[in-house]
Structure 1
Amino acid sequence: MSGETTITMTGNVVAEPELRFTPSGAAVCNFRIASTPRKFDKQRNEWTDGDPLFLGVTVWRQQAEHVAESVQKGMRVIIVGKLTQRQYDDKDGNRRSSYDIQADEVAPSLLRATAVVTKATGQQGNAQGAPQANGWNQRPAADQWQTQPGYSDEPPF
């Protein structure tokens, strides 16, 4: 969709990710991250923290299950996705806005950590045990790249 605001954000996970399933069986994982800018104050000769930015993150389908298994409170993560705004009325009737990221990618930050990556299989199931599409070894039926010459399920590294 054109006109969407794409965002890349690095921050710390501030609450354990919550995995749920829609009535149709689609997995959705929600969590919040915080990013706090730091700058060096030359006059005081020290680092100071700015105001933190908190954003909700939503991840769908099989990636949601992977995030729920891999991401924990306190981890530093990198999120790439679409910035969305939601308006609502608070309990006092005041109009408020909430900003969230509909994540396309979620990854651990390796700035101060290491990670071991395990290839996911294409037959992971949902809460009812049914196989999910879009795994590493499965492609949606409408995937134009599946029929291209030279297509491989192997990663390019």
Structure 2
Amino acid sequence: MSTHFIGEGNIGSAPEFREFSKGNDEPNRLLRLNVYFDNPVPKKDGTFDDRGGFWAPVELWHRDAEHWQTLYQKGMRVLVEGRTVKDEWEDAEENERSTFKIDARRVGILPFRIEAVTVSVKPGTREPDPEPNAT
């Protein structure tokens, strides 16, 4: 069972990167985030109450997942798009458990608390010429 999901929240812990080998093929790369999806409801005094927020594991499978592990940071505000997936497993006492996770298609960084952004040069292109000084 899965359902389309779009949600905004904060990363709650350092991202976790894993790599799974596939023989001689390029390995599958996974970036796992723990995100709190809040539901801020405005109050009359201008502050907000969080009603119905929830934590969810977010899994992003991508070849650049290892690099993104350093890009995404605890406390960062993100917009997650993907699908919810029911994950069934057994705990240490062999009790059947289930939880929902987000199989992310995209995880966008929102500009809250961001101090700077640096964009790398597109592979196969040369650096743009610096702008001439204005006089």
Question: Do they fold alike, i.e. is TM over 0.5?
Answer: yes
Aligned to 1:9: 7
Higher-RCO chain (CA-CA 8 Å, sequence separation at least 6):
2
Query: Does the residue aligned with 1:65 lie in a helix, a strand or coil?
Result: helix
* Distance of 1:11 and 1:77 partners within structure 2: 6
Query: Does the residue aligned with 2:5 lie in a helix, a strand or coil?
Result: strand
Query: Does the residue aligned with 1:62 lie in a helix, a strand or coil?
Result: coil
| Structure 1 stretches lacking a partner, 5+ long | 123-136, 138-157
Aligned to 1:59: 60
Q: What is the identity percentage for the equivalent residue pairs of Structure 1 and Structure 2?
A: 25
Map 1:1-157 to 2 at 5 A.
Answer: 4-24=2-22, 25-42=27-44, 46-113=47-114, 116-119=117-120
* Distance of 1:65 and 1:120 partners within structure 2: 19
Question: In structure 2, do the counterparts of structure 1 residues 5 and 115 end up closer, same or farther at CA, with 3 Å as the change threshold?
Answer: farther
| Structure 2 stretches lacking a partner, 5+ long | 125-135
1:96-155 CA distance string (max 9 Å, x none)? 321111111111112454552524766xxxxxxxxxxxxxx7xxxxxxxxxxxxxxxxxx
Tell me which amino acid in the other structure corresponds to 2:35. I
Question: In structure 2, do the counterparts of structure 1 residues 9 and 103 end up closer, same or farther at CA, with 3 Å as the change threshold?
Answer: same
* Distance of 2:81 and 2:118 partners within structure 1: 18
Hey, which of these two has a bigger chunk of strand by percent?
2
Give the conservation status (yes or no) of the 8 Å contact 2:8–2:38.
no
Question: In structure 2, do the counterparts of structure 1 residues 117 and 62 end up closer, same or farther at CA, with 3 Å as the change threshold?
Answer: farther
